Amino acid sequence: MDAIILQFLNGLDKGSAYALIALGLTLIFGTLGVVNFAHGALFMIGAFCAVTLQRLLSLSHQIVDETQKDFLGNPLKVDVPYVHDWFGPAAGQTIIEWSVPLAILFAIPVMALVGVIMERGLIKHFYKRPHADQILVTFGLAIVLQEIIKAFYGANPIPTPAPPAFTGSFDFGAFIGLDPNTIIYPYWRLIYFAFAMSVIAAVFAFLQFTTFGMVVRAGMADRETVGMLGINIDKRFTVMFAIAACVAGLAGVMYTPINSPNYHMGMDFLVLSFVVVVVGGMGSLPGAVLAGFLLGVLESFASLGVVIDLIPGINQIIIYLVAIVILLTRPRGLMGRKGVMEE
């Protein structure tokens, strides 16, 4: 029982990442009709926003501390971050430790800017070209973006710890009345799940309850008619692209404490996210979210010891296997609408 709950929880955080990336992919596909292979790169850029902010906050100058001596007896030189000077040592240190959550604020404008530049600068010119061309050019863009990041940050993963307040683990077993210490779950993963849920809820609320969202939904259903009503739908779709980029970026920012970011993390997630989108149904937002969590949880259940003993290697291939079965039995995916990219 506790093993099952634990695997379920373990699946949630990966599922959250899949769901967020797949949500952005589907937003872009549903609005602009573009298959964006560079979406994983956006996830990665988001993660590196957190790294950048951490480095910016830790910028420091050297002072000579007379009270401390090094092993030769000389006064010790210590690095003092500028934030320590500005906010005092205690508050300054807290700010540095909280750089990952703070990076959310930093990442939103950065990702929105990156999204707008990408859409206006490149993808705009590919609306009328075949899907294969869109895949190829965004694939090229993904390579370029990830190599640029590699040139600046190097090829090694960069550790970006969560704030100390969240580094511990949560005794989930005791919380739901099982024996203590049976289900131990890191706080940060719970936070990641909650964060993912609120971002998803925000995106859905935005689309459902605002006039802007209504127009966008109308545009997704029938772009031409909305355009003929005198609405500048292209502008709104650009905004949606920026929002999708932000969603991917935020997923990346919050994922950094779980996995230290490196330049190819985007590609690793992208392949799986595409599978998620296709399983959920091309163009269906709830489908993408549902499939994201479903596949995340399935993947984690497949890595249970019992299951692996039964079918060796299943944890490595379960997602692809599910995708193949779903694609062949339900051509539109779980929740795909009729007529959207059926061929």
Partner 1 sequence: MFGLNAKDTSLLLIVAVLTLLAPFILNPFPEGSDLAQFNAGYPDLMQRFVIFGIFAIGFNILFGLTGYLSFGHAAFLGVGSYAAIWMMKLLSLNIIPAIIMSVIFAGLFALAVGFISLRRSGIYFSILTLAFAQMSYALAYSVLTPITGGETGLQIKPTDRPLLSNLADGEIGRANLFGLDMRASYEMEVGGWLFTFNSGYYIAAVVMLLAFYMSIRIFRSPFGMMLRAVKSNQQRMNFTGLNSKPYTLAAFVISGMYAGLAGGLMVAMDTQVGPERMFWTASGEVVLMAILGGVGTLIGPVLGAGLIKYMENILSKINDAILHQWFAFLPDGLENALVYLIHPFIGKGWHLTLGIVFMLVVIFLPGGLVEGGQRIARIFRRKKRTDSAADAAAKTPAE
**Residues in contact with partner 1 by the rule CB under 8 A:** 35, 122, 125, 129, 131-133, 135-137, 139-144, 147-148, 150-151, 155, 267, 271, 274-275, 278, 282, 312-313, 316-317, 320-321, 323-324, 327-328, 331, 341, 343
Q: How far apart are CA 17 and CA 299, in angstroms?
A: 13
For residue 171, the cross-strand partners are 184
In angstroms, give the least distance from the CB of 122 to partner 1: 8
User: Any bridge partners for residue 80, and if so which?
Assistant: 61
Contact assessment for residue 61 and residue 82, using Cβ atoms and an 8 Å cutoff: yes
The residues that bridge with 60 in the sheet, in sequence order, are 81
Identify residue 18 by its one-letter amino acid code: Y
- Shortest spacing between CB 327 and partner 1, in angstroms: 6
Instruction: Give the C-alpha separation, 189 to 199, whole Å.
Output: 15
How many Å apart are CA 271 and CA 103, to the nearest integer? 26
Q: How far is the CB of 278 from partner 1 (least distance, A)?
A: 5
Closer CB to partner 1, 82 or 139, in the complex: 139
C-alpha 33, offset from chain centre = 21
Token readout for 265 is: 């993390």
In the bound complex, what is the minimum distance in angstroms from residue 201's beta carbon to partner 1? 28
Which is nearer to partner 1, 152 or 175 (by Cβ)? 152
Minimal distance in Å, beta carbon 20 to partner 1?
19
199 versus 288: smaller Cβ distance to partner 1: 288
Q: Strands, DSSP E only, in the chain?
A: 60-69, 75-81, 169-171, 184-186
For the CB of residue 314, give the shortest distance to partner 1 in the complex, in Å: 9
Query: What is the C-alpha to C-alpha distance for residues 138 and 126, in angstroms, rounded to an integer?
Result: 10
Indicate the residue among 79 and 133 with the shorter CB distance to partner 1. Answer: 133
Strands 60-69 and 184-186: unpaired
Nearer to partner 1, 117 or 271 (CB): 271
Closest CB to partner 1 among 3 and 144? 144
Q: Which residue lies nearer to partner 1 by CB, 9 or 275?
A: 275
Q: Tell the smallest beta-carbon distance from residue 328 to partner 1 (Å).
A: 6
CA distance linking residue 185 with residue 11, whole number of Å:
12
Q: Which is nearer to partner 1, 4 or 321 (CB)?
A: 321
Question: Letter for the amino acid at 126?
Answer: F
187 vs 314: CA distance, rounded Å: 28
State the nearest-atom distance from the C-beta of 47 to partner 1, in Å: 19
| CA-closest candidate to residue 233, choices 31, 78, 73 | 31
